Amino acid sequence: MKKTALVLMLLTIVSKLIGFYRDITLSYFYGASSISDAYLISLTIPLTIFLFIGTGISTSYIPLFSDIEKEFGQIQANRFTNNLINLLLILCSLIIILVWLFSVPIVKIFAVGFDRHTLDMAVNFTRVSILGIYFTGVLYIFKGYLQVKNNFVIPAIIGLPLNFFTIISIVLSSKSDIMILSVGSVIATASALLILLPSIYTNGYKYNLVLNLKDKYLRKLIYLSMPVIIGVSVNQINVLVDRTIASQIAVGGISALNYANRLNLFIQGIFVMSIATVMYPMISKMSSEKNMVGFKKSVIESISGINLLVIPATVGSMIFAKPVIKLLFGRGAFDVQAISMTSYALFFYSIGMIGFGLREVLSRVFYSLQDTKTPMINAAIGMSLNIVLNFTLSKYMGIGGLALATSIAAIFTTGLMFISLRKKIGPFGMKNISISFIKILCASLVMGLISKLSFNYLTTIISQNFSLLISIALGAVTYFIIIYFMNIEDVDVIVNAIKRKLKRNKTL
């Protein structure tokens, strides 16, 4: 699992870096403005409306596909997949019709603070971008299909064409018609699906026009998906509340939250999703086979791996929030105020980074056990807490208060999920996980101190950007040296594997 996760991590880094360049391109041409706000809302609406359905279905699809394939074989598993895809396409058509009919009130729900001009832009953008859910829906299923087949590489690189076409559309829109922004987003999503198709067919998939609403596995999927759908929709309500309040705080507030969250998601995508993506099909099969020893071992490895990577990233993001935002976005239309708002939000998003990461993994653990209710209840608790904190903290802290509310809710709900998991599967090494967490936190704090002192000194003799890069590199080296001597089990396993590899190369 670790080797596959590492390969996936490297591919994700490349994809996410290009994704960052996409955000940098948007910030360069449009900054934190009414146009960028309208565009981002038009992308948020399809995601919010459809994401909870797509996530719910794809999450339940993986363990069910494994069960069907094990019991009846590939042909029946493919039939189940086609039945699901065809139902999904019908659902997408209904959603598109509703959005076209009620686009104005829908946009108003998502951005109550928009003036008339910005509202009109957002409505026009949304009517085009909503068409992309046809491709998004199928993407969810096909990514799950390949992951069940242990093909993680192709799903990891779909971000490359997606980001490429998005960047092209941003550049072209700045020189001609801004509607190219939305057209480009649809083309970009379609290109991501096209990348998957060859691998789908080489892994044994064949499309058939099947629609059987009475299929018992389809009904079971809907039953398992409903709590996931509710749980994810709850998270999307959090996003809706965040952006609605942000639209009232300041012009460009939505964009500032988006850019800060993008950086947060960049770290999550590299470290957390790489581990979670590899882990999920594996523990789903172990759960199906009643292999609880292997199941618990994989869960512990995943949690320890995330702690090892995300905790130092959290400390680094908090210490260097402003210089990082300035380095990445501080050019073109992205002015001093935009840098200030975005870095302020990033600092408070960073506090909850470990909570976001562990919650993502723990949710998948419950899904693999075909328990979708526990994550749903957890998400509802998190939503309630987040909304209360949103209104309270934003009064005193503005944009930063919205980010802090999200972080507090994530940490609190992650703690609840640990308690629920222990009740469900029994002891799974929480004492060792806690000791490892404390060691990693101490190493990360020392790393942060050395990095900050280095940055302060280097900025007196060289440019801020070079000082930042050198300080980050120095901090990373310091961190790995410290954890090497701390007797952390996961680190020892990695080091021993490297040593064996080097010895093998010498003998060759």
Q: Could you tell me the end-to-end alpha-carbon distance of the chain, in angstroms, rounded to an integer?
A: 26
Name the residue among 416, 355, 421, 330 with its Cα closest to residue 381.
416
* Model pLDDT, residue 2: 52
Distances (CA, A) of 101 to 97, 106, 210, 273, 276: 6, 10, 29, 36, 38
Distance CA 375, CA 382 (A): 10
- As a whole number of angstroms, the distance between CA 207 and CA 141 comes to 13
Residue 501 has pLDDT above 50, yes or no: no
Assess contact for 46 and 132: CB atoms under 8 A.
Answer: yes
Say which residues have a Cβ less than 8 Å from residue 354's Cβ, sequence separation at least 6: 306, 307, 310, 311, 314, 411, 414
- Specify whether the CB–CB gap between 92 and 57 falls below 8 A: no
pLDDT at position 412 is 92
Count of CB atoms within 10 A of residue 86's CB?
16
pLDDT at 317 over 70: yes
Query: Which among 61-75, 135-149, 445-459 has the top mean pLDDT?
Result: 445-459
Q: What is the mean pLDDT of residues 170-176?
A: 84
Burial class (CB in 10 A: 0-12, 13-18, 19+), 318: middle
- pTM score of the predicted model: 0.65
Q: Is it the case that residue 504 has pLDDT exceeding 60?
A: no
What gap in Å lies between CA 144 and CA 9, rounded to an integer? 18
Phi, psi of 205 (to 5 degrees): -85, 140
* Helix then strand then coil, % of the chain, to nearest 5: 85, 0, 15
Q: pLDDT digits over 122-172, tens only?
A: 888 888 888 888 888 788 888 878 877 777 677 777 777 888 888 888 888
> What is the per-residue pLDDT across 339-350, written as a single tens digit (0 to 9) for each?
888 888 889 888
Please write the tens of the pLDDT for every residue from 28-53.
777 767 777 788 777 777 777 666 66
> pLDDT tens-digit profile of 371-409?
878 888 888 888 888 888 888 888 888 888 888 998 898
- Angle at which helix 292-319 crosses helix 399-425, to 10 degrees, equals 160
332 vs 431, higher pLDDT? 431
Amino acid (1-letter code) at residue 414: T
pLDDT of residue 502 exceeding 60: no
Looking at residue 78, its pLDDT comes to 83
Q: Is the pLDDT of residue 94 over 60?
A: yes
Spatial contact of 246 and 254, defined as CB atoms under 8 Å apart: yes
* pLDDT score, position 215: 79
At residue 493, the pLDDT reads: 53
- For 11, the token pair is 């591919």
In this prediction, residues 95-101 reach a mean pLDDT of 87
The residue ranking higher by pLDDT, 275 or 84, is: 84
Q: Among 47-51, 310-314, 353-357, 402-406, whose mean pLDDT is lowest?
A: 47-51
- 158 DSSP assignment: T
